[in-house]
Amino acid sequence: MKKILIVSGDPSGDLHSSLLMREIRKLKPEIQFIGIGGEKMIAEGLEALAPMSEVSVVGFWEVAKKYNFFKNLLDKCKDIIKKGDIDIFIPVDYPGFNIRLAEFSKNFGVPVYYYIAPQLWAWGKNRSKKLARVVDKLLVVFPFEVEYFSNFGIDTKFIGHPLLDNKNYSENFMTNVERNGKIAFFPGSRKQEIRKHLDLFVKILKYNEASGYKHQFTVARSSNIPLSEFSMLSLYKNVEICSDNIGIMRTSSAGIIKTGTSNLEAALSGMPFAMFYKTSFLTYTIAERLVNLPYISIVNILSNQFVIQEFIQQRAEAELILDYINMLMKNQDEYRRIQNQFLELRKNLGEGGASLKAAEHILEAL
């Protein structure tokens, strides 16, 4: 019986990994999975080594504070590989942990098929060289990644983006939809992010009232976050909380969204938005020195231009963000321009079937 070690470190990776696991099990039902993941991966048969809530942290200082936890978890994964019953290792993004484990796997003769490449083209050329030494095949979800990683000698295959397997992201849906006039707010999927970003949202709500805008809002709650984390919003009558993220993007007129995969989801849903992000001073200072791109949002990176506005750190102010969103909802020319750019982006992401293609590559290796 074949056994796969698969490691994902955030809710987005949990989703994409679960879809990959499902396709693998359709083709080979007897395969077993062990590793790190969330509820969706567990539902597909993962034997989880640690809860997703413990591994899903961002920021250099935030990770450093949990050094002992991550070291013990890495050692646990290494012990599983040492036992000799792992047939293949599938790292899913999450480079800080996964590249270290991939190196160990490679040394023990376990094939490494990396699914969803870490964004080393933005900040990690030195890590790209290391990745080349520890990966057997890299399955990427953005077309430009093929040339980038191939230049380091990595066997790289573009399989399309797994989000396109969702029928809600069809090209026709992006523009042919009734929108409800509300503004969506996406604070993130990690507790540490949400607490910081809800403070910003409360300032947006206060400015919304003081300015006379009177907008209505829908706040997206990730399924892994308890409703109690949003208790500070109970005082506001113009706010609803919803856990149907896709539904929110399908119906809201505009969005205010933390950087990450949700940016791409919003673009594929045809919902114009502003991107924001606030983090600790130390994390931002280090990241600013590492990142070598003019954009932060994946939407702008893929389009190689400022399709949507980015409000980062000091610019992530309530007045700046809400004034921009208010303009966007009134300016139909700008609104349509952004939606047309979203359509072009979607066309460049290839066809659906990414999860199945990845499963076929992995099973071929087995």
What's the pLDDT tens digit per position in 167-225?
777 666 666 678 999 999 999 888 878 888 999 999 999 999 999 999 999 999 988 88
Residue 330 CA, distance from chain mean position: 30
pLDDT at position 60: 60
Task: Using DSSP, state whether 269 is helix, strand or coil.
Answer: helix
pLDDT at position 21 over 70: yes
For the stretch 312-342, pLDDT in tens is: 988 999 999 999 999 999 999 999 999 999 9
Task: Identify residue 139 by its one-letter amino acid code.
Answer: L
- Higher per-residue confidence, 236 vs 177: 236
| Helix residue spans in the chain (DSSP H) | 11-27, 39-43, 52-55, 60-64, 67-82, 95-107, 120-123, 125-134, 145-150, 191-211, 245-251, 261-269, 281-290, 298-303, 318-330, 332-347, 354-365
In angstroms, the CA 72 to CA 157 distance is 33
Question: 200, 318 in Cβ contact below 8 A?
Answer: yes
| DSSP per-residue codes, 161-227 | -GGGGSGGG-TGGGTSS---S-EEEE--SSHHHHHHHHHHHHHHHHHHHHHT----EEEE--TTS-G
Is residue 14 within 8 A of residue 52, CB to CB? The reply is: yes
Q: Which two tokens stand for residue 50?
A: 């640690």
The per-residue pLDDT for 121 is 81
**Alpha-carbon distance 60 to 261, whole Å?**
20
| Per-residue pLDDT band at 301 (split at 50, 70, 90) | very high
- Looking at residue 259, the DSSP 8-state letter turns out to be S
More confident residue, 296 or 65: 296
Mean pLDDT over all residues of the chain? Answer: 90
Enter the tokens of residue 243.
Answer: 């856990």
State the first-to-last Cα distance of the chain, in angstroms, to the nearest integer: 11
Residue 234 CB contacts under 8 Å (≥ 6 apart), including other chains? none
CA distance 172 to 157: 28
Say what the pLDDT of residue 313 is: 85
* Cβ 251 vs Cβ 286: under 8 Å: no
Instruction: Give the CATH number of domain 3-161+352-365; options: 3.40.50.800, 3.40.50.920, 3.40.50.2000, 3.40.1440.10.
Output: 3.40.50.2000
- Pair 343, 171: CB distance under 8 Å: yes
Structure tokens at 324: 């921009």
Cβ within 8 Å of residue 255, ≥6 positions away: 183, 184, 185, 186, 249, 266, 271, 272, 273, 274
Between 287 and 227, name the one with better pLDDT: 227
State the Cα–Cα distance between residues 51 and 56, nearest whole angstrom. Answer: 9
Tell me if 3-161+352-365 shares its fold with 172-347.
yes
Provide the pLDDT for residue 168.
77
CATH code of the domain made up of 172-347 = 3.40.50.2000
Tokens of residue 287, six digits:
């990241």
Boundaries of every domain in the chain: 3-161+352-365, 172-347
Say which residue, 299 or 11, is predicted with more confidence.
299
The contacts of residue 134 (CB under 8 Å, 6+ apart) are 99, 102, 103, 105, 106, 112
For 35-47, b/e burial (b = at least 16 CB within 10 A) is bbbbbbbbebbbe
Contact 174, 339 (CB under 8 A): yes
Residue type at 235? L
